[in-house]
Amino acid sequence: MMDAMDSPGPAHRTRRPEHPGSRLARLAGLLADDTRAQFCLALLDGRAWTAGELARLAGVAPATASGHLDRLVAGGLLAEERQGRHRYVRLAGPAAARLVEELAAHAGPPPAPRSLRTASASTAMARARTCYDHLAGRLGVAIADALLERGLVRQDTGFAVTGDGLRWFGALGIDLTALPGGRRPVARACLDWTERRPHLAGAAGAALCRHALDAGWCERIGTQRALRVTGEGRRALRDLLGLDEAGLAGGAGAARGEDHRW
């Protein structure tokens, strides 16, 4: 009989081979923490944040935030760059942003706000916000609906820009045919986590969002993803897509009796 001295120790045990689910499990583990998930949701604004800013947002110590960020960078969800003593992080790219946004949509609506300040922020986010680099919320869904109704975008299995749509974007100074190629589609339907309906993503969605910000149609509110539509933006949306404030009333927020002003 083999005694304890003869039994194979930990160093002699065979390591389990990696199976197809191993990488998925590691990826899921990256977001299986409230702080890391909060960081990723904040970074959906498409901008780079410092480690200190994210630490303050989540209410954790800088050293704790740094450890979480190390894991997210090593796992490929975040990319980092350093300028002097500052460490900046952002989502690694559109694929990482799409993963976070779609998981947020599947997770369901956020809990009811417990304070007036939180309620106001939640309402602003639902009204209009960025989803990484494209427009989301009731504004994003209303724009996607208007593009579909005018035949500028078609919806088969997903979104695709039509010939009329290419000319419409061109009139805004956006040449979709000249955008860099790669794995990113020109147009993609992205499920909006507050409206539960698709808004326009992909290269076309990103270009339209950039134009809306550069042309002064929208402006950011504070440090979060929420946007406010300006007077110039209201005129442009009315003239180009026939949208007015009443055009948002069909969103999911209507059933909750929310404020529909932009």
Of 179, 155, 153, 177, nearest to 164 by C-alpha is 153
pTM for the full predicted model: 0.68
Q: Looking at residue 120, what is its pLDDT?
A: 60
* 114-134 burial: b if 16+ Cβ within 10 Å, else e: eeeeeeebbbbbbbbbbbbbb
Residue 211 burial by Cβ neighbours in a 10 Å radius (0-12, 13-18, 19+): middle
Question: What is the tens place of the pLDDT at every residue in 158-176?
Answer: 899 999 999 999 999 999 9
Q: What is the DSSP letter of 226?
A: B
* 41-66 burial: b if 16+ Cβ within 10 Å, else e: bbbbbbbbbebebbbebbebeeeebe
Q: Looking at residue 19, what is its pLDDT?
A: 72
Could you state, in order of their start, the residue ranges of all structural domains in the chain? Answer: 26-92, 111-255
- What SS3 state is found at 154? strand
Lookup: tokens for 225: 């993803």
CATH code for the structural domain at 26-92: 1.10.10.10
Q: Which comes out higher in pLDDT, residue 247 or 188?
A: 188
Q: Looking at residue 255, what is its pLDDT?
A: 36
